[in-house]
A and B are shown apart, each in its own frame.
Chain A
């Protein structure tokens, strides 16, 4: 990865910075969401430039896709009149921000060089983890506890969103003919992509999260285009959301009781376990994110 700053790099960084400032400053909601989507896209490019393809994928799908859908959907309700801050507080805020930035900058510049100790450890242990791609190995073997908790966070978010939203579920949207055909065309592609990304995860950038987000996006499209079976309501929906975490914990318990210890994946069956877990995680994240989207979906009017 060439470290010297090329024209493209300079453009990219300034683009990201400008998009960030614009996303925050622009007064109208719709414009702010639009600029934020651009910011998400540029960020994805930046991650690719920083040689982190997984993250670029995730940013594109999650940042742009799911969060974007949520934000655009939130535009439906009108912008309540929020009192503008007094000029004085704005100035103080900006000054404080710059001081904080300068402090952070000088701290960051004083950082000592990378020890590179952990990457070396990852490389010489990766053989036993059952996943060639280092990021997936870290996520699903070395630091599998973090991933487990992250799924718990998603599950908690789903509980929270459903608890907060009124119980009245968005009814099936009756969509016009064209949308239905689009859905027919798009959904299989999305499903295929999701499965491919899941499989690729063990060897190339990809994995549970990106696949999960794809599944989520697919479900959202399905819901918006009114296809019947896309509903994640009812017992099945709840079960699918929870299955990821339950499977992961049961795996942990079984390895603790039967295997050598919590979440210790034996070399022989590690890759199978990882793939299995990733599949279940993908389903759970997908249905979970879709459910969060649905929870936001019911228009306030209908909510009463």
Chain B
């Protein structure tokens, strides 16, 4: 049971925590955070796969790098949308 195996198990765990949290939570901002946590979990799986040998495999590492940038961009858009949704719901509430 090397560290990599443990990491390989932790990956899906974090992903499940993120996904379940995302699906259950109501508040938009916290759902976005849960999504990022889930994405972290998947990246962990990829990197654990990369680290199975002494010399780390650069290909999955490159994939993770791309994944992180995409997730950052998507979070940006999600937050912009969430802000607008809150703004719209504020308008409707105080009308």
Q: What residues make up the interface of A, taking CB atoms closer than 8 Å to B?
A: 1, 3-6, 9, 13, 16-17, 20-21, 23-25, 29, 32-33, 36, 39-40, 43, 46-47, 49-52, 54-55, 58-59, 62-63, 66-67, 70-71, 73-75, 77, 79-80, 82-85, 89-90, 93-94, 96-98, 100-101, 104-105, 108-109, 111, 113-114, 116, 118-119, 122, 134-135, 137-139, 142-143, 146-147, 150, 153-154, 156-157, 160-161, 164-165, 207, 209, 213, 285, 288-289, 292-293, 295-296, 300, 303-304
Task: Give 6 nearest A-B pairs by CB, closest first.
Answer: A82-B26, A24-B21, A134-B58, A157-B73, A104-B12, A292-B76
Say whether B79 contacts A113, CB under 8 Å: no
Within 8 Å CB of A84, what residues of B?
26
Q: What residues make up the interface of B, taking CB atoms closer than 8 Å to A?
A: 1-21, 23-30, 32-34, 36-37, 40-41, 43-45, 47-59, 61-66, 68-77, 79-84, 86-87, 89-91
CA gap between A46 and B62 in the complex, in Å: 16
Taking chain A's interface residues, is the majority helix, strand, or loop, or is none over half, making it mixed? Answer: helix
Say whether A52 contacts B69, CB under 8 Å: no
Say whether B58 contacts A24, CB under 8 Å: no
Taking chain B's interface residues, is the majority helix, strand, or loop, or is none over half, making it mixed? Answer: helix
Say whether A50 contacts B69, CB under 8 Å: no
Say whether A139 contacts B66, CB under 8 Å: yes
CA gap between A9 and B6 in the complex, in Å: 10
Say whether B14 contacts A20, CB under 8 Å: yes
Within 8 Å by CB of A80, from B62, B73, B75, B90, lies B90
Within 8 Å CB of B61, what residues of A?
52, 54-55, 135, 138
Query: How far in angstroms is the closest Cβ of chain A from B2?
Result: 4
CA gap between A8 and B71 in the complex, in Å: 28
Assess A23 versus B37: contact at CB under 8 Å? Given A3-B4, A46-B7.
Answer: yes
